[in-house]
Chains A and B, each alone.
Chain A
Amino acid sequence: MESQLGLIEQSFDLRYSGWVREALNELPDSFTITDPCISGHPIVFVSNGFLKIFGYSKDEVIGRNGRVFQGPETDRRSVMEIREAIREERAIQISLLNYRKDGTPFWMLFHMCPVFSKEDGRVINFVGVQVPIPKRPRHSGHTAVNSCENGAQLYKGAFRCCRREVCSDTVVELGRASALDSVSNPDDGEVGINDPCEARELEKRKANAAASNILSILTRYSELSGKLVCGKCCSVSGMGLLGSSLNISLGRIKQSFVLSDPHLPDMPIVYASDMFLELTGYARHEVLGHNCRFLSGLDTDPATQYQIKEYIRTEQPCTVRILNYRKDKTPFWNLLHISPVRNATGKVAYFVGVQIDDSCKNQEENGLSPHRRQLGVVGAVKVAVRSLSMGASTS
């Protein structure tokens, strides 16, 4: 775990330089910065303001995914909205119930926005700002549950108040008010959305300002490293690189595999998993854009290579055993499974290649044979590619 934490901090420092942390911590706000390119979409920077509010130490936060601050009473639909915003690479502002380290819940306005690489338009980071929404008695037109100091929720649908004392008075006043009447109040904006603690203008302004400041700092410091970023998607890569939603989905698959694009000249690799890089010893930028034949070498059987070509041409899945070479030139027998992957049009969009080091092949992980594990990867990739190419906003 240490090495992963180290990697995480390193990648952030590389892009923005080591000085950025100091600059970011000069801001008083609570915020986190995540990296969707690292599998698990972890937090790579956390502000002191955040640690103060949530009660965690830095080491307890870096490397975690933001969902760990949600809890049993966090509204599921809101969680879903955030998840979709991440997939669609867009900003979102939403009230959310989060939990501190001591288990106490509190409402906050969550403001999230993507940070794009100027070079290739990919999403490099997501910035998440948390503005606590203070508890206050409610007077008009909000529905259902309100949270109190210790997070205990009052279950009287008709009574829209926050503090118990106030509530009892209201109960007497309202008497037998039906929940339906009190809830459907069209003048109050979005009817019926289960959003008991709405942020006021003050909180929204705070969130917008914080996000804007953070973005300025990131932009400024990215100039130091030459890897410029900006708040808007400013360029579209011609390399056919995958969007962050597909990246995030594929990043969950913990095995060695690559995706190649047969529609680009020489069928280059457009995605390589972390474990592929570990297995072969290459860095990501050395692999993307190249055809996988670089893995073959002197003693690789050309007949096997020809076989692969044939299966690809006829869009058939196949399993072959091929001699491959790592970056350090050491050879290994690769039990390679290749399968066509279709997108939402129904046509083949990629080929997925799943590698297993033959010397490890007798290791059954959890009772699943290596072949079964390879097929699991194929399935997961097929679901991701098909689903994520269905909408209008596709990568």
Chain B
Amino acid sequence: MMLRIKRVPTVVSNFQKEEAEEDSRHAGGCGRNCFRNCCLPGAKLPMYTFKNVNKIEGEKKSVVSENKEHPVAFLDSLLLGEWEDRMQRGLFRYDVTACETKVIPGQYGFIAQLNEGRHLKKRPTEFRVDKVLQPFDENKFNFTKVGQEEVLFQFEPSTDNEVKFFPNAPIDIENSPSVVAINVSPIEYGHVLLIPRILECLPQRIDRESFLLALYMAAEAGNPYFRLGYNSLGAFATINHLHFQAYYLAVQFPIEKAPTRKITTTSGGVKICDILNYPVRGLVFEGGNTLEELSNVISDSCICLQDNNIPYNVLIADSGKRIFLLPQCYAEKQALGEVSSELLDTQVNPAVWEISGHMVLKRKEDYEEASEENAWRLLAEVSLSEERLHEVKDLLFEAISCSMEEDKGVTQNILEESDVSPQSLEDVDALKGSHPAIMSV
């Protein structure tokens, strides 16, 4: 039995139409200035290339050379400027800054927004929610079908280790660039989509390269209030074409305030913690000797979840220095009829932003009556149980230590709970450095 739910999906592009219509249009030429072969050759877009030198943080930092003032970073400025430009050109379905928003009083400060225009009023479509990995389907909407005016710039690693900006760079069709596009139904100001290697039409699934790209974007923007998010299929991704979302909101997200408890630190210096006192259970990753170390531990974790058909969301916060990984089960519960109608009526689909504590509400009464208890109750339905999370963590830690073995190519002492013995005490001295070891819980 295939699990499905009915949903009114959010329109993210001005060219997103009914799937049925798409089929008939696809055959002919286009004239819509889209991102496919009919319109792309010869097209140009601004390009931002970032420095992809791994920052070696373990070494002594030269503090004096640090940029003194921390002004608005260039990428930040570029993104905001391009977004405001599209705003003034009328490309968005509504002005999100005209939507009322507030922080709900309470311990955590959940954020509520009244947005009646976000979800398109059309007949609901059916989404399959029981498979995290599904093959890319050309016939469904994907980002090559957006108009070029919705794409803000190309985002690529630089070839010569310098940050560069090209106002008018050709689009290399052979080596598909990664691009940043607007979301025409924005949740907040600056809501964009990061689409890795757009022309390769990758399905919605994380791989090491794409996740690293997302982390670089967060780091380049250098703004702790510019966060990236990812929803797997089955965790309320709307489009099966690999993408991350991002937007600006200069307040703390509730999930960022939750206390954490360290589980372990990998040999690459990545600290992994449990999230405590929060309705949704999950893991937090920070640190890492390099950005790449941090990225790989997380993407390997995501791949493990994908391979085990566990839907999940990822929040990249603190300019790429803190990442939250949240396995969830809400869609499955919904399909099995296990969610109360009261919660279903709010039509809040708990994707990464909602789980992080930012709720967009469609009905005025939901907005007026929004409370920390309501938010907590909804999110508690999303979370995996303690036992289930424990199982998932076992899977993850096994996957991570396996990958690290492959990476390092060095014999490791992996301290399992059952293997603690006086012998391994010698490793205590050498934990950081030559004897990489990981303690599993």
Contacts and interface: CB of A to CB of B under 8 A. Distances in A.
Interface of A: 1, 39-40, 42, 60, 63-65, 67-69, 71-73, 76-77, 79-80, 83-84, 99, 101-103, 143-145, 152-157, 164, 167-168, 171-172, 175-176, 178-180, 183, 190-194, 249, 252-254, 317, 339, 342, 344-346, 364, 366-369, 372-376, 378-380, 382-384, 386-388, 390-392
Contacts of B277: 192
A375 B189 contact: no
B366 interface: no
B84 A366 contact: no
B441 interface: yes
A252 B428 contact: no
A191 B428 contact: no
Contacts of B287: 72-73
Interface stretch (B132-140, B179-187, B248-256): B248-256
B27 interface: no
Contact of B261 (A194, A342, A346, A388): A194
Given A103-B60, A392-B103, A368 B81 contact: yes
Contact of A386 (B101, B420, B425): B101
Contact of A390 (B101, B166, B260): B101
Contacts of A376: 72, 76-78, 80-81, 84
Contact of A369 (B59, B74, B167, B190): B167
B48 to A, nearest CB: 9
Contacts of B264: 155, 157
Nearest to B112: A390
Interface string B417-429: 1101010010011
Contacts of B225: 383, 387
Contacts of B63: 60, 68-69, 99, 101
Interface of B: 46, 57-61, 63-64, 66, 68-72, 74, 76-85, 88, 95, 97-103, 105, 109, 111, 165-167, 189-190, 224-225, 248-252, 256, 259-265, 269, 273-274, 276-277, 286-287, 318, 321-322, 417-418, 420, 422, 425, 428-429, 431-432, 437, 439, 441
Contact of A171 (B425, B432, B441): B425
B335 to A, nearest CB: 33
Nearest to A381: B80
B260 A194 contact: yes
Given A103-B60, A155-B264, A39 B69 contact: yes
A383 B190 contact: yes
A76 B70 contact: no
Nearest to A388: B250
Nearest to A387: B250
Interface centre among B84, B98, B251 (most CB of A within 10 A): B84
A380 B318 contact: no
B261 A183 contact: yes
Given A176-B420, A178-B417, 11 more contacts: A72-B61, A72-B287, A156-B428, A167-B428, A180-B441, A183-B261, A342-B95, A364-B167, A367-B166, A386-B189, A387-B249
Interface centre among A79, A366, A369, A374 (most CB of B within 10 A): A366
A120 B224 CA distance: 30
A372 B85 contact: yes
A383 B250 contact: yes
Contacts of A42: 68-69
Given A155-B265, A378-B84, A384 B250 contact: yes
Contacts of A71: 57, 61
A157 B224 contact: no
Given A190-B259, A367-B167, A382 B84 contact: yes
A68 B60 contact: no
Nearest to B58: A72
B288 to A, nearest CB: 8
A168 B428 contact: yes
A64 B65 CA distance: 11
A16 B269 CA distance: 46
Contacts of A367: 46, 165-167
Given A60-B64, A252-B70, A376-B81, A155 B431 contact: yes
Contacts of B69: 39-40, 42, 65
B322 A164 contact: no
